[in-house]
Amino acid sequence: MIIKMQTVATPDEIAAIEARVHALGYTTGKMVGAQVTLIGVYGDISRLPTDELGQMPGVERLIPISRAYKRAAQKGDPLKPIHVPVDIGGVLAGGSDLVVIAGPCSVESERQVMDAARMVKEAGAQCLRGGVVKYRSSPYSGWEGLGSSDHDSLRRSLELIVRAGREFGMPTVVEILDQADVSLYEDAGVACLQVGEPNSKNQALLNRLRDTTLPVIHKRGNSLDTEAYLLWVERVMTAGKENVILCERGITSCNRYTRNTLDLGSVAAFHYQLSGLPVAVDASHGTGIRDLVFPLTLAGIMAGASVVLVEAHPNPLIAKSDGMQGLFPEQLQGLVRAAREAWLARARTDREYVPTVALQRTYEARMQADRARFFGED
């Protein structure tokens, strides 16, 4: 259950609601927005005195939420959904503008990451991404990253990408593998932590990320259905953390041509129905094929993504990891331009989107008359 307070609700009225709910034996979680405060009520709400709570001063309305995930869930009315943007080092993801996060799969050298940052900036992206420690499913898979040998190498690698981002005025997004390294990333000046697919169910890491003030991009595990994925996202948010971004990067399917199958249906479900968090699409990992990143990224934007993750390299033919899916600089420039056009197109076409709830009662009232008209039924 979500208790939505009025915009004019006073701190005392909010505190009174929390006190009453606690007295009834429930726990709460408060989400304070710029204009609206939401109070989440956790537990079996079947015995909750909803009439009493609904009439308390400052309450606008009660919103039942039947889904197991509460904080990651959409908390608005179906006709007026609430989408909460996330700040990545001054870049607002999930707001009125499309956000493009681009860069190489991994930081390979100081010269390479500087050239990559220049390429990303010139293409028009707002954030620089790059890994310093790479997850490998096999010890024979190859290079594990410039920062993989020890803490000193990790620190130096983080300094390289942060310096490159600052040189070109971009916040940095870096994947983290180990919960023990969170403070190291924070101290280095990383703007956003990325949880990669292999760690999407890393309980220790996700629990630790509750405590960081940095935003988190949580990539969906390739075997997780939508509810299971949102429950793992919920784990990061249970202590009150709000600045989390969902990321669709492909799931396992019977398709063998692409690296994964980009689940655009879930992108749409996350944005239009299930969640108020910003949604990112990563067609680089979703396809693993350079020439498919362009069309699938645009499709992801039209499906509901407000953030784009894309891998690009100054010369992907010599990249030490994931070169097959990394874009050439010219391809990145074209993608960013096209992505912005797709974003504008979605803004126009979204005006025609009508949720079923807006029409259902009207058509329910016509059911008997329409049965008689169409089928001759009384």
Kindly state whether residues 58 and 101 are assigned to the same domain: no
In a domain, residue 230? The reply is yes
Q: What residue spans of the chain are helical by DSSP H?
A: 11-23, 50-54, 110-123, 151-167, 182-188, 203-209, 226-237, 264-269, 283-287, 290-303, 329-349, 360-365, 367-375
Rounded distance between C-alpha atoms, residue 311 and residue 131, angstroms = 11
In a domain, residue 357? The reply is no
Mean pLDDT of all residues in the chain?
93
Q: Give the phi and the psi of residue 229 in degrees, each rounded to 5.
A: -60, -50
The CATH number of whichever domain residue 45 belongs to comes to: 3.30.70.1140
Specify the higher pLDDT residue, 70 or 243: 243
Question: What tens digit of pLDDT does each residue of 98-154 get?
Answer: 999 999 999 999 999 999 999 999 999 999 999 999 887 777 777 788 988 888 999
Using alpha carbons, list the distances in angstroms from residue 224 to 10, 201, 263, 274, 300: 41, 9, 11, 15, 19
Q: Give the phi and the psi of residue 60 in degrees, each rounded to 5.
A: -90, -50
Q: What is the pLDDT of residue 66?
A: 67
Q: Does residue 312 surpass a pLDDT of 80?
A: yes
Q: Does residue 44 surpass a pLDDT of 80?
A: no
Kindly state whether residues 197 and 306 are assigned to the same domain: yes
Mean pLDDT in residue range 39-44: 82
Q: Give the phi and the psi of residue 307 in degrees, each rounded to 5.
A: -130, 140
Identify the CA nearest to 246 among candidates 305, 176, 300.
305
Kindly state whether residues 56 and 98 are assigned to the same domain: no
In a domain, residue 68? The reply is no
In a domain, residue 246? The reply is yes
Kindly state whether residues 221 and 316 are assigned to the same domain: yes
Specify the higher pLDDT residue, 199 or 51: 199
Kindly state whether residues 128 and 203 are assigned to the same domain: yes
In a domain, residue 358? The reply is no
At 37, list the tokens.
Answer: 């405060």
If one counts the domains in the chain, the total is: 2
Kindly state whether residues 54 and 158 are assigned to the same domain: no
**At residue 196, what is the residue type?**
G
Q: What is the pLDDT of residue 378?
A: 66
Kindly state whether residues 57 and 95 are assigned to the same domain: no
Residues 122/110, Cβ–Cβ less than 8 Å: no
Kindly state whether residues 44 and 126 are assigned to the same domain: no
**At residue 254, what is the residue type?**
C
In a domain, residue 156? The reply is yes
Kindly state whether residues 122 and 221 are assigned to the same domain: yes
Burial of 20 (0-12, 13-18, 19+ CB in 10 A): middle
Kindly state whether residues 204 and 261 are assigned to the same domain: yes
Beta bridge mates, 309: 101, 282
Q: What is the pLDDT of residue 364?
A: 83
Identify the CA nearest to 321 among candidates 130, 172, 186, 149.
130
Residues 299/265, Cβ–Cβ less than 8 Å: no
Kindly state whether residues 59 and 90 are assigned to the same domain: no
Question: What tens digit of pLDDT does each residue of 182-233 get?
Answer: 999 999 999 999 999 999 999 999 999 999 999 999 999 999 999 999 999 9
Residues 286/249, Cβ–Cβ less than 8 Å: yes
Tell me the residue range of the domain where 34 lies.
Answer: 2-63
Rounded distance between C-alpha atoms, residue 26 and residue 48, angstroms = 9
SS3 per-residue string spanning 51-95:
HHHHCCCCEEEEECCCCCCCCCECCCECCECCCCCEEECCEEECC
The CATH number of whichever domain residue 138 belongs to comes to: 3.20.20.70
Residues 83/89, Cβ–Cβ less than 8 Å: no
Task: Count other Cβ atoms within 10 Å, centred on residue 227.
Answer: 11
Mean pLDDT in residue range 164-182: 97
Kindly state whether residues 23 and 106 are assigned to the same domain: no
In a domain, residue 204? The reply is yes
In a domain, residue 76? The reply is no
**At residue 197, what is the residue type?**
E
Give the distance from CA 13 to its chain's centroid: 32
